[in-house]
A and B are shown apart, each in its own frame.
Chain A
Amino acid sequence: MPEEKVVYTRPYGVTVTLQPQNETRTVKARSVRQLLNIVKASPTTVLVIRNNELLTSDRKLSHGDEIIVRTVVSSG
C-alpha cells in the first residue's frame, strides 16, 4: 500500500511590527498597499521595512515576511 502523502497547509501570514508602539501581529496582506490598509496607515506617514530594505506601496509580500511599519510623524 503506497504511503499516504501528507500535505501541510499553513495559513498565509505576514508578521508586522508597528513602531514606535512595538506591537506585533500577523495579517493576511499580499502587498504593502494591502498591509497599510489593514494597519490604517498612509504610505507617506510610515516607513515600510523588510530585511533592512525600504518597500514602496506597490511591492508584493510573501508568506512569512517580517515587516516593520515605522511611523515617521514626530509628536510634540
Chain B
Amino acid sequence: MKCKVCKATAVVSLPSHNTGFCSDCFMAFYERSVERSIRRQKLFTFEDKILVALSGGKDSLACALVLKKLGYKVHGLHIDLAIPESSAAARGVVERFCAAHDIPLIVKEMEEEGLQIPRVKKVLSRSVCSACGRIKRYFFNKVAMDEGFTALATGHNLDDEIARLFSNTLRWDIPHLSDQGPLLEADNGFSRKVRPLYRLTEFENANYAFLNGLEYHYAPCPYSPGATSTAYKKLWNQLEEEMPGRKLAFYTAFLAHGREPFRQFEQAEGTKPVPCERCGYPTSAGICGVCRTRDAVAADES
C-alpha cells in the first residue's frame, strides 16, 4: 500500500477513510484532525490553561503531546491509584513523558486520600470500575477547579465515546445522553471538560503514539476483566470491519441530531446537582459518592 499523499510505502492503513499514510503524512493527518475538532466544537483557545488527565496509556499521552505540538498551554495530572500490579509502572511512564516533553505534572496520590483502589475494591460488593472512574473524575475536577485551569482535557477516543453512547442508548439513559459530547461547559461546580480526540480511534492514537516514539503503559488494569465497555468495543469493532466508517457516522450524527432533544428534556425534567454536604463536590443529594466511599474504606480499616 502506498501513502495517499506522497506515494511512499504506507505504514498506517485506515479503512474508515479508504486510505493509507506514511509516517509523516499520518502525523499531519492526525494533527489536522485534532485541530479541526478543537475549532469546530470550540473546545478551547490558545489563551486557555489546559489540564490533561494522564493515565499513562496511549490516548492520554497522545492527547497531551498533540496539544503541546499544536502550541496550547498544557499541564498534566496523574492520579496514582495505588494498585500494586500496575500503578507504579503507569506513574513512571507519565513522569518520564512529562519530563521529556517539558510538561508540568501534578500527581495526586490516592493512598494519601484514603482511597487506594485495592481497599475500595475490598469494601465494594460490585465491580470496582465505576467507583474507580468516579474517584478519578472527582480529583480531575477538584484539581482543575482548585488550581485555576480553564479546561480539563481527557484522551477519550472515538471507541470510548461510541461504547458510552451505545451503553447509554441501550438503557435510554436520558441524563447521560443529554450531556455526552466532546465539550461540557463549566457548570454548577464542574470544570469545563473537553475531549479533543473524539474523532480519532484507539487505533489512530496507538499509531500516533508509536510513530512519535512514545513509551506508553499498555498492560490492562488487573481489575478490568469483564468491564462492559470492553464488550461494547468488541461488538463495534466487528461492525466497523464490516462497514468501515460506521463508528464516526453514528457518533457525529448523534451530536448533530440526537443530543439536543435529550438535552432539552433533561433541562425541563432533570434534577440539578447540589454541593456535597462534606466536600462541596456536586452531587445529587446529601453526601457525594466519593465521601461515602472514603467513609467505607476508613470503617473497614478501623
Number of chain B interface residues as a range: 35 or more
Contact A75-B20, Cβ < 8 Å, known A45-B237, A56-B10: no
Q: Are A44 and B237 in contact (CB-based, < 8 A)?
A: yes
Cα of A76 to Cα of B227 in the assembled complex, Å: 5
Inter-chain contact A75/B1, CB cutoff 8 Å: no
A42 to B220, CA, bound (A): 19
The distance in angstroms between the C-alpha atoms of A39 and B211, with both chains bound, is 24
A-B contact pairs, 10 of them (CB 8 A): A45-B203, A54-B11, A56-B12, A73-B237, A74-B57, A74-B218, A74-B220, A75-B225, A76-B129, A76-B227
Distance in angstroms between the alpha carbons of A5 and B129 in the assembled complex: 65
Whole-angstrom distance between the alpha carbons of A74 and B156 in the complex? 11
Interface, chain B (partner A; CB < 8 A)? 1, 10-16, 20, 23, 57-59, 129, 159, 201-203, 205-207, 210-211, 218-221, 223-225, 227, 229-230, 233-234, 237-238, 240-241
Instruction: Say whether chain B's binding surface is mostly helix, strand, loop, or mixed.
Output: helix
B211 close to A54 (CB less than 8 A): yes
- Bin chain A's interface residue count: 20 to 34
> Does A47 sit within 8 A of B, measured CB to CB?
yes
Q: Which residues of B contact A70 (CB under 8 A)?
A: 206, 218
